[in-house]
Each structure stands twice: as structure tokens, then as C-alpha cells.
């Protein structure tokens, strides 16, 4: 792992975030950004923000932006907000608002190859 970025308590369900994550997992960071730019989904916008942050962290450490690829991207569940809405006959219907923690880790191919040779 060269750099990572994490967005916590994001108001989207992990299931919806994982649908977009499957498309960019293991891809080149620049190509993943372009893919996310063209998608019309809330999770793509949120994932793009986290990916940009991870790329900026790697550039700050001195790594080349073109050689970075996504080594790990995860959408873990965060705390669930529980709300209630009035229902018929004086009852209450539960509304569950899910949150996510989105983690992106970037790496370079050279580091992966070197780690494989050591093992």
C-alpha cells in the first residue's frame, strides 16, 4: 500500500456502493477516475472523491500518478440511522438509513512484483 484514503459515515448503503466498486477494483487509477466520471450514480461520485484524495496522497509522497492502480477498495457498513414514519391504525413503520465507510488503497505494479519475489 502506497497511499490510502477513507470516507466515513457516507449516506449510501454498502450494497449500492459495492455495485460501482466492482467496476474499478484492480484498475489503473486514472482509468478508474475516467470510468467514475461517466457514471450517473451517487456512489460513483462518492467513490471518485475518495479516489482523488488517495491519488493526491500518493502524489504528495512523490509517486507518479500514471503508475498507480487500485490495490484495495472496500465499502464497509457504518452505523445505521433508525427513523420512523406514521403508519395506519396508529402504528409506526421503521425506516432504516444505511451508511458506509469507503476505503481506497493505491499501489504500484513494481511494489507488488517485488513483494511476490520475496515470498
Residue 29 has pLDDT above 80, yes or no: yes
* Residue 101 reports pLDDT greater than 90: yes
DSSP code of 66? G
Q: Count other C-beta atoms under 10 Å from residue 19's C-beta.
A: 13
Instruction: Please state, in angstroms and rounded to a whole number, the distance separating the CA atoms of residues 88 and 22.
Output: 41
Q: What is the mean pLDDT of residues 48-52?
A: 96
Sequence ranges of the domains in the chain:
3-118
Q: Taking 90 as the threshold, does the pLDDT of residue 114 lie above it?
A: no
The topology (CATH level 3) of 3-118 is Ribosomal Protein L22; Chain A (3.90.470)
Contact 100, 10 (CB under 8 A): yes
Nearest Cα residue to 7 out of 97, 74, 84: 74
Q: What is the pLDDT of residues 59-96, one digit of tens each?
A: 999 998 899 999 999 999 999 999 999 999 999 999 99
Positive or negative CA dihedral for 7, 11, 16, 20? negative
**Could you read off the pLDDT of 14-26 as tens digits, one per residue?**
999 999 999 999 9
Amino acid at each position: 500500500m502506497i497511499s490510502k484514503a477513507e470516507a466515513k459515515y457516507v449516506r449510501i448503503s454498502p450494497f449500492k456502493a459495492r455495485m460501482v466498486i466492482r467496476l474499478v477494483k484492480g484498475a489503473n487509477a486514472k482509468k478508474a477516475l475516467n470510468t467514475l466520471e461517466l457514471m450517473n450514480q451517487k456512489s460513483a461520485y462518492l467513490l471518485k472523491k475518495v479516489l482523488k484524495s488517495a491519488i493526491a496522497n500518493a502524489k504528495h509522497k512523490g509517486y507518479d500518478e500514471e503508475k498507480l492502480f487500485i490495490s484495495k477498495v472496500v465499502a464497509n457498513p457504518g452505523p445505521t440511522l433508525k427513523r420512523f414514519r406514521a403508519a395506519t391504525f396508529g402504528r409506526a413503520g421503521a425506516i432504516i438509513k444505511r451508511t458506509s465507510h469507503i476505503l481506497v488503497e493505491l499501489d504500484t505494479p513494481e511494489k507488488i512484483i517485488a513483494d511476490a519475489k520475496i515470498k
